[in-house]
Structure formats: C-alpha cells, structure tokens
Structure 1
Amino acid sequence: MHRDEFLALLPEEGFQEVVTVTREPNGVMDIHAHPFEAKALIVEGEIAIRVGDDERLYRVGEIFQLSANLEHEERYGPQGVTYLVGRK
C-alpha cells in the first residue's frame, strides 16, 4: 500500500492520531504492550513482530495491526525501520 492511501484509510477506521516511528538497525524491543490499538505502514526497512510463538516479518508497503494491550516483541532489520502508525 502507498502512503497516501494508508493515510486516507486511517480516519475511516477511527485512527485519529498518526505518528512516524523510526527504530535503529538490528535493534530489539523485548516483550511489551501498548495501551492503544495500532495500525502501521512500513515506509523504510523491515520489522519482525512476535506474538506468542508466531513471528511475522513486515517490509516496505506492508501493514501490521496490533490490538491494545497485546504483548509482543519487535526486531528491526539491518537498515532499521520507519513506519507510519495510527493509534486509537
């Protein structure tokens, strides 16, 4: 998906707050949760997200969505990652 399409979709789905997040190359964020639902579009690099025993890799143009308070881990690719994220 392209950036403009994604940004148009967010308010339709109730995501009013939009931020850009950039993480360092080969970084890791251990198990944590957010008090908000998140829907994100990868714009640079890649991120692997693990929920329980399941891990999925997201690359440029792909979208991931996490429910509020869902425990997960994150790993960032060799170029790091930048993503646009809507929060609600």
Structure 2
Amino acid sequence: MPKSFESFKSAALAEGFDEVLERVWAPDTALDTHSHPFAVKALVVQGEMWLTVGDETQHLKPGELFELEHGVPHAERYGSEGATYWVARLNA
C-alpha cells in the first residue's frame, strides 16, 4: 500500500491514469446507483464504505483497493465515520 497520497499519485500516473485526487465523504452518506464517464482505481485510507455493483457488495476498509471500468452502474454507502479514499481516474 502506498504510504502517501504523492506515492499513490505517482504510481497511478505511471500506470496511465490522467487524474488523481482525494475524496472525503461525510458520515452515513449514501449514493444511489450511478455511473461515471471514467474508469477508477481507488485506495480506501480512512473509514469504511460499501460498494455495490449488480448483486455484489464489497465492504471496503483502509488499505483495500477497488476498481471500476467507466460506465459501470454502482452504488456507494459510507460508514458512521465517513470515508476517505485516493482515486485515480482514466477519463474516457
């Protein structure tokens, strides 16, 4: 696991991602099913979240990665402490 945002960003840009940012989510936030015009690779660094794609839900905690191709419908729910993740995007 990268030790800093800068190391995550450097690695992601070297992999070909074109945008890297930190997302901070408020406690108990829930996002209904939606999709994005970009692919993502993200690392949870604080809190917890649940990512639902189709009938499968992943419970993600600090140190865990998730990836989504662009256009994939998904829902997100964040825990009682909220969540922070570093995300690399590859815009379509």
* Pairwise same-fold verdict (TM > 0.5): yes
Q: TM-score if structure 2 supplies the norm length?
A: 0.88
Letter in 1 for 2:2: H
Identity %: 41
Q: How many equivalent pairs are there?
A: 88
Match of 1:12 in 2: 14
Q: TM-score if structure 1 supplies the norm length?
A: 0.92
Match of 2:71 in 1: 69
* 2:13 aligned counterpart, secondary structure: helix
Q: Does 1:39 align with 2:41?
A: yes
* 1:26 aligned counterpart, secondary structure: coil
Residue 47 of structure 1 deviates from its aligned partner by 1.0
Match of 1:26 in 2: 28
What CA RMSD, in Å, does the superposition of the two structures yield over aligned residues? Answer: 1.2
Deviating more after overlay: 33-42 vs 7-16: 7-16
* Alignment gaps of 5+ in structure 2: none
Q: Does 1:60 align with 2:43?
A: no
Match of 1:81 in 2: 83
Residue 83 of structure 1 deviates from its aligned partner by 0.6
